[in-house]
Amino acid sequence: MLDLASAHAEVADEIAAGWADILARTAFVGGPRVAAFETDYATWSGIRHCVGVGNGTDALELALRALGVRAGDECIMPANTFIATAEAVARAGATPVLVDCDEDTALIDVEAAAAAVTERTRVVLPVHLYGQTAAVEELRAVLPEGVAILEDAAQSQGARRHGVAAGKLGDIAGTSFYPGKNLGAYGDAGAVLTDRDDLAEAIRLLRDHGSPRKYEHSVLGFNSRLDALQAVVLSAKLRRLDDWNAARRAAAARYDELLSDVDGVVGPVVAEGNEPVWHLYVVRVAERARVLRELHESGIGAGIHYPVPVHRTEAFAHLGLGSGAFPVTERLADEIISLPMFPDITPAQQERVVSVLAAAVRR
Ligand SMILES: *Cc1c(COP(=O)(O)O)cnc(C)c1O
């Protein structure tokens, strides 16, 4: 599914040197390495501020809090996402209002989002799922003024929509550097991205005990900081990320080509204006359980992202949304398979994946 070892080999020496320096100085949290990464990431994405935090879920929660989300507020988000999007909303004290997704792209359905707006709606969270950017400008056009847009950019580092970087399309964005993401740390890490100075300032307070200066605490904060060891990893990998994303694009094009004459496999659809970074390459098949089993039996590490939509999880059963609430999301959850996808996947590996997949769907 994913080979992190070859990416590590490319950056191993740089990371070893950076870590040796940190160990010698014993400065583990914050400091110049973290600041350097924040500046590099902001410059690379063309966004004014990058504020490093502990993980992607915290990034989303702190962004919601910086936007002023409170108990009783409603936050509209797709049911078709990783659970963390909903966790962040619930942890900020608000209610996740789930909506269905588009059948082709699996991204938030803009009309459904518009229809879900009430007087309590405070934020909409489009999720740039699988590395493809949601239609943020279309959302903006249908949302009332005063409703903010928080992008869940955990799967979209380097993706663009009409030339603009994911994370710069809304008011603020949260991203994750979990090891398996396109830009992955060696542990948990995340960041909040925004062009707005006021929001960046609020995040800097919230991530560090609400503290503008040591032992001054102006707001109730959290402990969610990016540590220096992770910043070293992220800086080294960021320098290669454009190349790695290009390699993912080439691999996606090769899958498209190999699958073009395979009946029974529906490939991913890229929306107009999007340059995805192929965090995942997701296809749809009938008889998914059997097909996936055959892939696994042939030693192919395919996965499902995600098998259980948010409203069907036990954790969000209290939302009272049963089976049938979001037909597109539920259909996708039954049919999708994520094929192996990483920068160093070889043509031979992809040919083997497709030949096993083609044989399975023919049966
Ligand atoms: C990974 C991910 C997150 C959460 O990131 P963590 O760093 O694991 O907390 C949030 N949203 C989406 C869509 C993700 O893929």
Q: What is the CA radius of gyration of the chain?
A: 20
Do 226 and 245 fall within a single domain?
no
Q: Two tokens at 64?
A: 């919601």
| 55 pLDDT more than 90 | yes
| CB 130, CB 152: distance < 8 Å | no
Do 317 and 189 fall within a single domain?
no
Do 60 and 201 fall within a single domain?
yes
Taking residues 71-81, report their average pLDDT: 97
CATH code: domain of residue 317: 3.90.1150.10
Give me the percent of the chain exceeding a pLDDT of 90. Answer: 96
Q: What's residue 208's pLDDT?
A: 96
To test the ligand 1 pocket, which listed residue (178, 234, 277, 305) has its Cβ within 8 A of the most ligand atoms?
178
Q: Two tokens at 51?
A: 């504020």
> Where does 83-176 have alpha helices with state H?
84-91, 110-115, 136-142
The region that residue 126 occupies, defined by phi over 0 for left and psi between -120 and 50 for alpha, beta otherwise, is beta
Do 75 and 124 fall within a single domain?
yes
CATH code: domain of residue 34: 3.40.640.10
Round to whole Å and give the CA distance between 156 and 164. 12
| 115 pLDDT more than 90 | yes
Do 110 and 30 fall within a single domain?
yes
> DSSP secondary-structure letter at 144?
P
Angle (CA) 5-7-12 rounded to 5° is: 85
**Distance of CA 58 from the midpoint of ligand 1 (Å):** 9
To test the ligand 1 pocket, which listed residue (152, 157, 305) has its Cβ within 8 A of the most ligand atoms?
152
Q: Please list every protein residue whose CB sits less than 6 Å from any atom of ligand 1.
A: 55-57, 81-82, 84-85, 127, 152, 154-155, 176, 178, 188, 190
| CB 122, CB 114: distance < 8 Å | no
Q: Two tokens at 324?
A: 């049938």
Q: How far is CA 310 from the centre of its chain?
A: 15
Both ends of the chain: CA-CA distance in Å? 23
Q: What's residue 4's pLDDT?
A: 85
Do 282 and 161 fall within a single domain?
no
**Distance of CA 186 from the midpoint of ligand 1 (Å):** 15
Do 354 and 226 fall within a single domain?
no
Taking residues 339-357, report their average pLDDT: 97
**Distance of CA 356 from the midpoint of ligand 1 (Å):** 30
Q: Where residue 90 falls among pLDDT bands split at 50, 70, 90? A: very high
Quick one: which of 332, 314, 334 has its CA closest to 86?
Answer: 314
| 203 pLDDT more than 90 | yes
Do 229 and 271 fall within a single domain?
no
Number of domains in the chain: 2
Residues paired with residue 260 on neighbouring β-strands, in sequence order: none
Q: What's residue 3's pLDDT?
A: 83
Do 208 and 313 fall within a single domain?
no
- pLDDT tens by residue, 222-263: 999 999 999 999 999 999 999 999 999 999 999 999 999 999
Round to whole Å and give the CA distance between 326 and 331. 9
Do 79 and 228 fall within a single domain?
yes
Residue that finishes a domain, picked among 236, 270, 302: 236
Residue that finishes a domain, picked among 221, 236, 251: 236
Give me the percent of the chain exceeding a pLDDT of 70. Answer: 100
Residue that finishes a domain, picked among 236, 266, 293: 236
Do 78 and 197 fall within a single domain?
yes
- pLDDT tens by residue, 120-149: 999 999 999 999 999 999 999 999 999 999
What does the mean pLDDT of the chain come to? 97
SS3 category, 221: coil
Do 218 and 331 fall within a single domain?
no
* Full domain range(s) for residue 295: 241-362
Q: How far is CA 325 from CA 12, 63, 94, 304, 329, in A?
A: 47, 28, 20, 20, 9
- pLDDT tens by residue, 26-54: 889 889 999 999 999 999 999 999 999 99
Quick one: which of 132, 340, 342, 183 has its CA closest to 250?
Answer: 342
Q: Two tokens at 67?
A: 């936007």
**Distance of CA 312 from the midpoint of ligand 1 (Å):** 18
| 195 pLDDT more than 90 | yes
Taking residues 76-92, report their average pLDDT: 98
